A and B are shown apart, each in its own frame.
Chain A
Amino acid sequence: MSPSTVKLIGAFGSPFAHRAEVALRLKGVPYELLLEELMISKSDLLLKHNPIHKKVPVLLHGARTICESLVIIEYIDEAFDGPAIMPTDPYERAMARFWAHFMDNKCAKPFMLSVWSEGEVQKGFLKEVKENLALLQAQLEGKRFFAGESIGYLDIVLCSLAHWLTVIEEATGVKLVADDEFPDLRRWAKEYTSNEIVKQCLPDRDQLLAFYTAHLERYKMIAKAMLQQ
């Protein structure tokens, strides 16, 4: 099969774009990274290729466009040769997909709102965050990675827990997780962020912290809007 150009539209600091990059690198697929400046404006290229959601990441493979990070990961796994990203057993695949959906549909909002809300409302979200983390930690079952001995789908999907969580805690001054809580998740986070392939596309921690610090007001506004829904 003749190789077609692979491009990835991403943005600095986006854990969703990181997911797609890790998948490409794990698979050994060369790609060109096109960075959006989302805080300024969305490029014509992004709007053309993702008119429905107008979000990163977007994978361009030859004439094909694939949007939505979870869809992109499975596409990369199926369209290219290389080490498997998804589990091979159908039940394990179903479980991995279940926890991926749990992360994106159930965890995202409480995480966001637990750092941006106050008082009793915040207490409620903090409790929910801890419950969610406990459920996720339980999936590790003492393994090195969620996928077993090496990185797989769920590790990639949960990347924001490994790297973004502590940065956001530092930027906002809100401690979501005490130092002695969730030791298995901490261990996993170290394993994930020190992985040779992951390191190649993980945003620099100091730069990420500066990024969140610079855009605190913006995130506050997004969270406020979320609260009102």
Chain B
Amino acid sequence: MGDHELKLLGMWASPFVLRARLALSFKGLSYEYIEEEIFGNKSALLDKSNPVHKKVPVLIHKDKSICESQIIVEYIDEVFSGTGPSLLPVDPYDRAVARFWAAYIDDKLFSLFMMMIKGKTTEDKAKGRRHSFAVAETLEGALKGCSKGKSFFGGDNVGFLDIVLGGFVAWVHTRDILSRSKQFDAGKTPLLAAWLERFCALDATKAVMPDVEKLVELSKMRQARDDAAAAAVSQSN
């Protein structure tokens, strides 16, 4: 495997970084991975290569920086079209459908997770759970439409949309453990539940999945820190 001159700036717990890693993994591309400190200062390299948002992931290809996880995935697919499978569908309409759902996922799913993770009150968290189910239901319909009876959003093989949603699977597992419930319940969203299992069983996925136990720990640590901060505020009032 040749040197593709690729570097990826990332953070082990980020679902957006995981997306980029999944794309590289499924395409079979080698790269240098550089971990950004989670609570530390942002590195000079990050500041230089993503001056606008200062966020990961950033893909650096021969000194060019590409930012935003979905844009990175499309870039990888276009530049390395001869390597590994194609991620975006071939047909323009299928591509449009995939991009539509990808935008939906970033619009709805991420803010939902934040609501559930950072929800201050039981009510907030309950609201998060209700919206989460509505979103899961919608995605179940999207999967039915896109997969056309096959295993993945991309059909027989993993595609762009599988990778876009795939970035969140580690957090889905984490939420499942912490909430003692299933985000993609087999009874309510059977296709999604089956997809999750199938996607996570793939070698290319396993190669880059973060340690869910560590994510659970991180989540508990964040929650404890938020609770302490909230308690300090209420005590000082």
Q: How large is the interface on A (under 10, 10 to 19, 20 to 34, 35 or more residues)?
A: 20 to 34
- The docked-state distance in angstroms from the alpha carbon of A101 to that of B70 is 11
Q: Does B74 contact A (CB under 8 A)?
A: yes
Chain B residue nearest to A66 in the complex (CB)? B96
Chain A residues positioned under 8 Å from B95 (CB to CB): 74-75, 78
Q: Does A94 contact B (CB under 8 A)?
A: yes
**Nearest-Cβ distance from residue A182 to partner chain B, whole angstroms:** 17
Interface hits, A45-97 → B, CB 8 Å: 52, 61, 64, 66-68, 70-72, 74-75, 78-79, 90-91, 93-94, 97
Do most interface residues of chain B lie in helix, strand or loop, or is the interface mixed? helix
Q: Does B196 contact A (CB under 8 A)?
A: no
The answer on a CB contact under 8 Å between B66 and A91 is yes
Chain A residues positioned under 8 Å from B100 (CB to CB): 66-68, 71
Q: Does B138 contact A (CB under 8 A)?
A: yes
The answer on a CB contact under 8 Å between B96 and A75 is yes
Q: Does A135 contact B (CB under 8 A)?
A: yes
**Nearest-Cβ distance from residue B4 to partner chain A, whole angstroms:** 14
The answer on a CB contact under 8 Å between B78 and A93 is yes
- The docked-state distance in angstroms from the alpha carbon of A96 to that of B138 is 30
Q: Does B68 contact A (CB under 8 A)?
A: yes
The answer on a CB contact under 8 Å between A52 and B93 is no
The answer on a CB contact under 8 Å between A97 and B92 is no
The answer on a CB contact under 8 Å between B92 and A94 is no
Chain A residues positioned under 8 Å from B180 (CB to CB): none
Chain B residues positioned under 8 Å from A93 (CB to CB): 74-75, 78
Chain B residues positioned under 8 Å from A97 (CB to CB): 68, 71, 74
Chain A residue nearest to B59 in the complex (CB)? A94
- The docked-state distance in angstroms from the alpha carbon of A97 to that of B72 is 10
Interface hits, B77-102 → A, CB 8 Å: 78-79, 92-93, 95-96, 99-100
The answer on a CB contact under 8 Å between A52 and B96 is no
Chain B residue nearest to A131 in the complex (CB)? B52
**Nearest-Cβ distance from residue B21 to partner chain A, whole angstroms:** 18
**Nearest-Cβ distance from residue B202 to partner chain A, whole angstroms:** 26
**Nearest-Cβ distance from residue A194 to partner chain B, whole angstroms:** 30
**Nearest-Cβ distance from residue B208 to partner chain A, whole angstroms:** 21
The answer on a CB contact under 8 Å between A74 and B96 is yes
Contact of B92 among A67, A75, A98 (CB under 8 A): A75
Q: Does A211 contact B (CB under 8 A)?
A: no
A–B complex contacts, Cβ < 8 Å, 16 sampled: A52-B138, A61-B93, A64-B96, A68-B100, A68-B103, A71-B103, A75-B93, A79-B92, A90-B75, A90-B79, A91-B75, A93-B74, A94-B71, A97-B71, A98-B71, A135-B52
Q: What residues make up the interface of B, taking CB atoms closer than 8 Å to A?
A: 52, 61, 64, 66-68, 71-72, 74-75, 78-79, 92-93, 95-96, 99-100, 103-104, 138
By Cβ-Cβ distance, the 5 closest A-B pairs, closest first, are A78-B92, A75-B96, A79-B92, A90-B78, A94-B75
Known: A61-B93, A71-B99. 19 other contacts (CB 8 A): A64-B93, A64-B96, A71-B100, A75-B93, A75-B95, A79-B92, A79-B93, A90-B75, A90-B78, A91-B64, A91-B75, A93-B74, A93-B75, A94-B66, A97-B68, A98-B66, A98-B67, A98-B68, A135-B52
Q: What residues make up the interface of A, taking CB atoms closer than 8 Å to B?
A: 52, 61, 64, 66-68, 70-72, 74-75, 78-79, 90-91, 93-94, 97-98, 101-102, 135
